[in-house]
Every structure is written in C-alpha cells, then in structure tokens.
Amino acid sequence: LDKKREPFWLLDAPIAHDDVFSIEDAISNTLGIFHASSSPQLSASALGPEHVPPTSSQRQYIDVTPPILVVSVKKTLYGQGALEKAAKQLVYTSHLNWNNSWTLPEQDAPQPSYRLVSVVVHHGEEAVEGHFSTLATRQYDGEWYSCDDRAISRRTVQEVESHQGALLFVYVDTNVRLVDITPGA
C-alpha cells in the first residue's frame, strides 16, 4: 500500500475465506499474493497443454506503517438475493501481532507495536438490522468502556476481546509519540 499523508489508514479486510480465523489472518489475506491470468477465457484445455495462458502475480505490502491503523472487517456477505451477516467470530487481542511479511523486506523502519484502542461492534443477527456501539479504552489508565445510545459502562479486556459483533478495529502504534493531524502537513 502506498504512502499516505493521513495519520491513519483504513484497511478493508474480508473474512469470508476458510483460512481466516484472526484479525492477523484477515490482514495477511488482504495483503496476500494475487494471481491473474492474462486471458481468463482461454484455458489449457481449449489451447492444448503446450499453450497455457500466461499468468501474473501481485503481492501487496505496507510501505510505511501508519501511526493509526484502522481495520474494517467485512462481515456482510452478498448472495441469494439478500445481504447476510457472517457469523464468523475473529480472534483478536488488545495488541496486534505484527507480521513482518506485511512490510517490504528491505524496510529499515522499526517494527510497529499496535495497541487496540477502540472497536466498533454491531448488535443484531441480521446485516440490515440492529445497532452499533463502541468499545473504547482510556489512554491514561487502560480501562475499557462500552458506549452506545443508552449508556456508558465499564468492560473488562476479556469482554472486549471476545465480542462477536466486532467490525472495526482501531490500533495505535505505541512507538509513535505524536501524530500530526494538521491539514496539508
């Protein structure tokens, strides 16, 4: 992913694949290797085995790690004429386990240390019904709170890490002390 000027990045991470079990799996899958045929309508069976259409592959990397990483997991499935909410629950913890394969091999920057600071969750069984709330931590003491339309209540780390409706994860790199949000900076 190219360098961005914003202090945060939004990374869309589909979770429908069978090999995605954690937030780290979702990121790896999003940044994974993609294969594409130069002529998808032509196959080896149509041309003969000696004329296999050429393919190419593409690998995405995070060029520069952002101070704030926002990961949006895609739990909405499209099919059968309706939207469905995937029942899959991702494993995630209060710290993102950074995988060095996500960054360029020749990158000299220090490895980020991302701490979870907020989670947006969806309450409801259906993709088109329900409501949203936010789980957020206070910076100075690390206490977690659930904030919704009706109340603000304290939560434990275990309650945050086990919430089944998690859709959006906000991580802050604890190695970065100051984030410049000045427009045009």
The CATH number of the domain holding residue 134 is 3.90.70.10
For the chain, helix (H) and strand (E) counts, in that order, are: 3, 11
Tally of domains within the chain: 1
Segments forming the whole domain that contains residue 63: 8-32+55-173
Q: What is the DSSP letter of 53?
A: P
Query: Distances from the Cα of 45 to the Cαs of 39, 42, 50, 144, in angstroms?
Result: 13, 8, 10, 58
pLDDT number for residue 43 = 44
- Tell me the one-letter amino acid at 58: Q
Instruction: Please check whether residue 46 lies inside any domain of the structure.
Output: no
Q: Are 138 and 116 in contact (CB under 8 A)?
A: no
Instruction: Please check whether residue 181 lies inside any domain of the structure.
Output: no
Residue found under tokens 């950074």: 98
Per-residue tokens: 153 = 């209540």
3-class state of residue 72 by DSSP: strand
Instruction: Specify which residues 147 forms β-bridges with.
Output: 134, 152
Pairing mode, strands 68-74 and 8-14: parallel
Instruction: Please check whether residue 78 lies inside any domain of the structure.
Output: yes
Where the chain has pLDDT below 50, the residues are 1, 38-48
pLDDT number for residue 34 = 57
Instruction: Please check whether residue 45 lies inside any domain of the structure.
Output: no
pTM over 0.85: no
Per-residue tokens: 138 = 């206070």
